[in-house]
Chain A
Amino acid sequence: MSERTEAIKLTGITKEYRLGEIGSGTLQGDIKEWRERRKNKGQVTKRKGSFLALDHIDLTVYEGEALGIIGHNGAGKSTMLKLISRITAPTEGTIDIRGRVTSMLEVGAGFHGEMTGRENIYLNGAILGMSRKEIDAKMDEIIQFAEVADFIDTPVKRYSSGMYVKLAFSVAAHLDSEIMITDEVLAVGDAAFQKKCIQKMRSEVMQEGKTVLYVSHNMSTVRDLCTRCIVLDHGKIVFDGDTEAAIAMYTGLGSSDTGVYHFDESYRPYDKYVRKVMRLNIDSLSLGRQDNSFRLREHAHITVSCTAVCPLTDVRFRFEFWYQDGVKVGSMLAGNGVDMHEGKNTVSVDADLSHLAAGQYRADLVAYQMDEHGTETILDGVYPGMILNLTDDAASPEYIDWHGQYWGAVRLNDLQMQEEEAS
């Protein structure tokens, strides 16, 4: 173990972002702040209205490792990569890097539509730190890997988006760098190309001893590529080790959360169809408690915040429930609608969970309107809307170990049994 060389070493890395308006906005305020900061001699303490995207992170990555970085949105993954790839500087702490870093935080940075593929390869390669000679030597390989040989002398503005990404990735992937940093660049491009990219990165890790830092929400690519994995949560490393264990930890994070869901970056399947004209946006949902566990037969008192672009009448919500094994259980429709005024609206929803058996549920939230003919118009939908954990009180006399795999996820009304008196 001792002969392993450190490729990247983070020591006490902290990155502070300020919330709201950046800077005080006035020269006077800036001067005041600068004087205060001088007094404190650059000591970072969490200021009011700021948050630590990374909170005193210590991490050592060794040569030849493929490190996966997973975590929920806002956990600090991208910030970490941005610091290592020197797009922004840390507020505190040091990073030591051994070797050349290629960051592919977003491929095609610096591509210019008016220039041909070949010209862009030169420029992009130079941006990424390659010399002209190196690019010349790799040119054929890059073009071949990108599968765009016929179009190489065409301005890239005429490329399809797929070709564009392939070319961009190809340039980045052919850099002779010791460390590669990627952030979901593979989300684009077709499946075959994705596979090719993963294979290329993998072979470079395996055979050439390169180091890869890989951030993704796609667990299967993480599983394919990474030899080690860290889980970030609220700017701290909460797990460091085996990939499978990290993935398990990450998927578990969602079920033990704080009972508040923000939908800024949620998957919105209806965007493609009906939300060309956006009238309503579901912002957040709160379960009104510290976590998301409920007892059987409880009522969930849910608060949903949304923003209406125009006044809306008779807006209804619908929860579509999925059981933990991925089976759709059923839906809760709104018994009545509410009117919404322009701007922020808060709606409290009472959901009777009495039909759900013990287990974990995911509920997708859809907002819609219904006309007099019973035709619905979908306003917005967030997937998932919330995750509920239903538990049975083991101490209660009515406790049953619910066998979801045999009995399903719905607990129909209990049978009432009575012994007939023998006549």
Chain B
Amino acid sequence: MVSGRENTSQNTRITHISARSESSASRLKELLQYRDFIVLWTKKTLTLSYKQTILGPLWLIITPLLSAVTYMLVFGRIAGIRTDGIPQILFYLVNNAAWRLFSSCFQNNARTFTANANLFGKVYFPRLSIPVSNLFAALILFLIEMAIVLVVFVWYLAKGAVQICWQYLWAAVPAVLVIAVLGMSAGIIISSLTTRYRDLSVLVSFGTQLLMYATPVVYPVSQISDPFLQKLILLNPLSAPMETLRLALFGSGMVVSWSLWWSLACTVLLLVCGVRIFGRVERTFMDTV
């Protein structure tokens, strides 16, 4: 829709609007022009949830700790799931953080159009900046949770229960990015479709919950004894990055190369499809919402 061509003589922005969708390149360029907005919107998303609360940002530490402890009790102690030799609390803290990264990327973006309809109806800005800020906000929350992991890790390191594994540490970054981008892409696809088919929004919260059990969050892949079921779980594009993340941090995780490639391919495909569908819907969704 836009070509942000800069005129040579003057600094005038030329905009061309037509019935056709604009190219992805010009949309990305425009997104860059709005980076200040993305930063501010991310900040807003992060700070708003803790305004007028007593504990404020302390909740960021309390919630992951509490849920990790709960998981440890339920799945670790009661169900007796083994954790590949990683201390249970660390295992659940990391898995939980990674899962929350995915689910908040997914769920927050799945609401992009419906939650911001009011704003979208009044003013133009590149609509993709909302999913991108959601992604950044989720990544920042993830980093905060990783800080907790670090503290606990140092504690276990001092006890000699774990050791640092430098070899694969770099793999944590792509693993985390894959998880986040998968969440965002699936989210924007859902949000694009919900402008027409509202039933999908019901599916989102329910589906995320189910998906968690199809992802190695409360168990590692290595604990699945049935080889067919194991393959099935590895077909979930989230499985490979989850295992990779644990391999990178603790040196134990089941990373199969085909599942890595599969996961990467899924991510790229979903991202490309997501951005395209989103671009189609964002142009006229105000007429259908």
Contact = CB atoms under 8 A, between A and B. Distances in A.
Contact of B283 (A89, A101, A112, A119): A89
B124 interface: yes
B188 to A, nearest CB: 18
A97 B44 contact: no
B14 A30 contact: no
10 contacts: A42-B19, A87-B120, A87-B123, A90-B17, A97-B14, A103-B123, A106-B122, A119-B44, A126-B41, A129-B125
A168 B120 CA distance: 16
Contacts of A114: 48, 51-52
A99 interface: yes
Interface in A118-134: 119, 122-123, 126-132
B123 A93 contact: no
A135 B17 CA distance: 27
Interface of A: 17-18, 22-23, 27, 30, 42, 82-101, 103, 105-106, 109-110, 112, 114-115, 119, 122-123, 126-132, 178
A97 B12 CA distance: 10
Contact of B122 (A22, A100, A109, A130): A109
A123 B19 contact: no
Interface of B: 1-2, 12-19, 33-34, 36-37, 39-41, 44, 48, 51-52, 118-125, 196-197, 283-284, 286-288
Given A94-B16, A96-B16, A115-B48, A105 B122 contact: yes
Contacts of A86: 1-2, 15, 17, 124
Contact of B37 (A27, A95, A127): A127
Contact of A123 (B14, B17, B40, B122): B40
A155 to B, nearest CB: 8
A91 B20 CA distance: 9
A92 to B, nearest CB: 5
Contacts of A115: 44, 48
A123 B51 CA distance: 17
B3 to A, nearest CB: 10
Contact of A22 (B33, B36, B44, B288): B288
B139 to A, nearest CB: 20
Nearest to B123: A109
A248 to B, nearest CB: 32
B286 to A, nearest CB: 5
A178 B15 CA distance: 12
Contacts of B17: 83-84, 86, 89-90, 94-97
B279 to A, nearest CB: 11
B283 A88 contact: yes
A101 B15 contact: yes
A235 to B, nearest CB: 15
B18 A94 contact: yes
Contacts of B33: 129
Nearest to A85: B124
Given A87-B121, A94-B17, 13 more contacts: A22-B288, A30-B196, A85-B124, A86-B124, A87-B123, A95-B15, A97-B16, A98-B13, A99-B13, A109-B118, A114-B52, A119-B44, A129-B37
Contacts of B196: 23, 30
Given A106-B122, A123-B40, A126-B37, A88 B14 contact: no
Contacts of A122: 40
A102 B283 CA distance: 18
A89 B36 contact: no
A89 B124 contact: no
A293 B35 CA distance: 60
A88 B286 contact: yes
A323 B14 CA distance: 51
B19 A132 contact: no
B288 A23 contact: yes
Contacts of A109: 118-119, 122-123
A114 B46 CA distance: 13
Nearest to B51: A114
B280 to A, nearest CB: 10
A132 B121 CA distance: 24
A87 B44 CA distance: 23
Nearest to B118: A109
